[in-house]
Structure 1
């Protein structure tokens, strides 16, 4: 999908580049290049405002010229999701960086949207604090994490970015800066509405900063790992762990496609692994680890470091990347259905304890076959109150598959989009359901 020619001509005649340069500074505005595309859609301009007020001014310029805007952090997930119908301006949030306010007593921190998550962790660690969010994208920013609703293994105990939110500052499509929640009393009005920005892919507002709940760094962290041969064995082990009241911080599974049976058959292959993270005081963790090892058997291994696959996606750039959400008790059924539909082993990795996992289908498969696999898996998941969404796909497949499947909430989502962005200028087509 290309950029709107009419909008670009209108912008050029109005001196859009000059206006953006006056707001951001000449060094921080440029014509877009090949690397600035969004899921295959080309952009016209890249602007990097340095303050919340500058973000508002950029959005007002875009509104004046009827230009579409797609926010970008580090760009780690710009190929995720459906392509926008047009991209006139990529709004780079990289200059909105830093831990702006941190109160150790209140255990909250306000962080600029363009701040890399790992930089936040390093800054908080100086005060023996951490953000209990461990996103798999190594260079992800706070804004990108929130916009994609990206989570890692610690979501098992601590939830998603939305669950850690204490406040948000964002700019709407008209260029109005909003503050909800956060430090000042009386700022809670509209907070539930603002949380809708989580997972919106920048289609509802431009995130300027997030105030997040932090916590002390645990004294002790130990991983207990055990081989698994099949989704059913994984299911049985997770049920045992849940029933033992061990308060794990995370329960992750890795079922790779290598091995004699890909980890899905009844044979002797043990291609997969189940790993449990326990955190807390040293004596407390030691006691819980001992009980867990007794529960899981002699094949267990205890480590002070995570397995090499921990917190990493199972897909590569040329794969079709999927996210599956289903009650943990039904996860094994969804995995079997995917393998049966694909006719080949499918690598799976993610939170076995919550039923939130990621899968990779090979990008060389025909788009119609990918569509058939998705149809089968979504039918199985629908009966179990689950869903399967496509996160990313190669260009030849991207335009021919349904990213979301059946969406009973689509009318409500359309109302949300119209409430935040009535003219559909913020990342048009990127919101759930292609809105």
Structure 2
């Protein structure tokens, strides 16, 4: 830890002493306790805090709701937590342009309520309840609707952030001062707060659909047969003119795999497309017992209970698996095979329509077995044209596995980090390669 001055000395460097307080027992990131906590309410206050932190050489980690503080590596040092929860609310809602500018500490659920009266939405899901706008951008988390509406990077059109030295930078739409040479929105999305502290985001909005329906299909076949059938069903849906908002798959440890198609739009249009999807799925398995056993339901109300939720509980090991669309059955099949080989239950869930899946392993699984699972799934994801990243894991598993695995462009990432944070004081060590 850096040579930190006493709390009185630090508070004296900030005009509004109420911005900073000594840290308490809950002010911990990845098991690393902080010395101080700042609670700014404006971009200007964040700039004041980070400028003071820079003068004292303090290491800094941003915190929103804390729902993903167990993701990534623990910081190598932690002097100051900047809590963004007072940095909340809508700055501007240009309803006619379908644009909103929102502060980073705003919970997604709260933003959804604020936009609802205008019949508009930010089409980002929140798999972890309480997630804030800044946390979603920092970890690049997108849920089921990424298929129809795009990811965080697609919807983010402008960003305001404060650099490690306290300088405010802007980029993209609805801003005044741009940083030449960098697409800040894309750089900070998924950077785990290592390049700057995001204070405001401008997003592209979409109308809330008048109606929606969930077409649910249960695949009774186990093992590779079930995964192959899911692949055929996914290909059938994608080849049709259904234009789904989401195409999700849930493969529990035991029991049938479930495929769900989310269709949104006008009331009449949704009814017709949902019925077309039901017929397509029911007929996709072909004649014989398999087709007869394929259960397809249309639910115009609520999604299944697992919808937009990660397949793990707090304390479990959670992985993100990616691959080309055609390889989704291979990833599902690999997870079942690896689970049997290592005798570790694995639940897989995610977007069969975009090739982004998540896998959950129980907290009590032996670390050596988890390491074996991660190694094999990383190989399967690589063969599928993607990657396998451990998002969260118990400490005893972290000691045995490489969370990120091989990453292309690591040296370029290091140079960008050096450009934005040459003293490596922002979320040090949290990101890939110890960045």
1:337-356 maps to which residues of 2 (within 5 A)? 337-343=334-340, 344=343, 345-356=345-356
Aligned residue number for residue 90 of structure 1: 81
Matched, 1:40 2:31: yes
Select 1:308's aligned residue among 305, 310, 314: 305
1:121-160 maps to which residues of 2 (within 5 A)? 121-160=112-151
SS of residue matched to 1:105: helix
Q: Can you give the 5+ residue segments of structure 1 that lack an aligned partner in the other structure? A: 264-270
Aligned residue number for residue 329 of structure 2: 332
Kept in 2, the 8 Å contact 1:40–1:395? The answer is no
- Aligned-residue offset at 1:182: 2.2
Aligned residue number for residue 16 of structure 1: 10
Aligned residue number for residue 242 of structure 2: 246
- Aligned-residue offset at 1:54: 0.9
The CA distance in 2 between the partners of 1:385 and 1:212, in whole Å, is 30
The CA distance in 2 between the partners of 1:68 and 1:34, in whole Å, is 18
Aligned residue number for residue 92 of structure 2: 101
In the TM superposition, structure 1's runs of 4+ consecutive aligned residues that sit over 6 Å from their partners are: none
Kept in 2, the 8 Å contact 1:173–1:425? The answer is yes
Matched, 1:418 2:412: no
Aligned residue number for residue 364 of structure 2: 364
Kept in 1, the 8 Å contact 2:171–2:183? The answer is no
Number of aligned pairs? 415
- Aligned-residue offset at 1:396: 2.1
- Aligned-residue offset at 1:206: 0.3
Kept in 2, the 8 Å contact 1:181–1:189? The answer is no
- Aligned-residue offset at 1:191: 5.6
- Aligned-residue offset at 1:190: 4.7
1:25-64 maps to which residues of 2 (within 5 A)? 25-26=17-18, 28-64=19-55
Matched, 1:282 2:267: yes
- Aligned-residue offset at 1:366: 2.6
Q: Cα deviation per residue 1:398-434 (whole Å; 9 max; x = unaligned)? A: 2332001111221111112112211110000112222
The CA distance in 1 between the partners of 2:279 and 2:363, in whole Å, is 42
The CA distance in 2 between the partners of 1:213 and 1:93, in whole Å, is 22
- Aligned-residue offset at 1:342: 3.2
- Aligned-residue offset at 1:184: 4.8
The CA distance in 2 between the partners of 1:341 and 1:332, in whole Å, is 14
Moved more, 330-339 or 233-242: 330-339
Aligned residue number for residue 237 of structure 1: 233
Aligned residue number for residue 209 of structure 1: 200
Q: Cα deviation per residue 1:45-93 (whole Å; 9 max; x = unaligned)? A: 1111111111111111111111100001111111111111011100011
Change (3 A) 1:275 1:128: same
Change (3 A) 1:313 1:424: same
The CA distance in 2 between the partners of 1:29 and 1:291, in whole Å, is 58
Change (3 A) 1:340 1:124: same
Kept in 2, the 8 Å contact 1:181–1:188? The answer is no
Select 1:317's aligned residue among 311, 314, 318: 314
Change (3 A) 1:381 1:102: same
- Aligned-residue offset at 1:235: 1.2
Moved more, 372-381 or 145-154: 372-381
TM-score normalized by structure 1?
0.91
SS of residue matched to 2:419: helix
Kept in 1, the 8 Å contact 2:40–2:86? The answer is yes
Q: Can you give the 5+ residue segments of structure 2 that lack an aligned partner in the other structure? A: 221-225, 283-293
Aligned residue number for residue 218 of structure 1: 209
SS of residue matched to 2:218: strand
Q: Cα deviation per residue 1:285-323 (whole Å; 9 max; x = unaligned)? A: 122112111111172111122111111111011210111
The CA distance in 2 between the partners of 1:223 and 1:410, in whole Å, is 40
TM-score normalized by structure 2?
0.91
The CA distance in 2 between the partners of 1:215 and 1:324, in whole Å, is 28
Aligned residue number for residue 267 of structure 1: none
Aligned residue number for residue 405 of structure 2: 405
Kept in 2, the 8 Å contact 1:250–1:277? The answer is yes
The CA distance in 1 between the partners of 2:177 and 2:67, in whole Å, is 35
Aligned residue number for residue 251 of structure 2: 255
Q: Cα deviation per residue 1:337-382 (whole Å; 9 max; x = unaligned)? A: 2332333441111111111111111222232222222111112222
SS of residue matched to 1:169: strand
Change (3 A) 1:125 1:37: same
- Aligned-residue offset at 1:156: 0.8
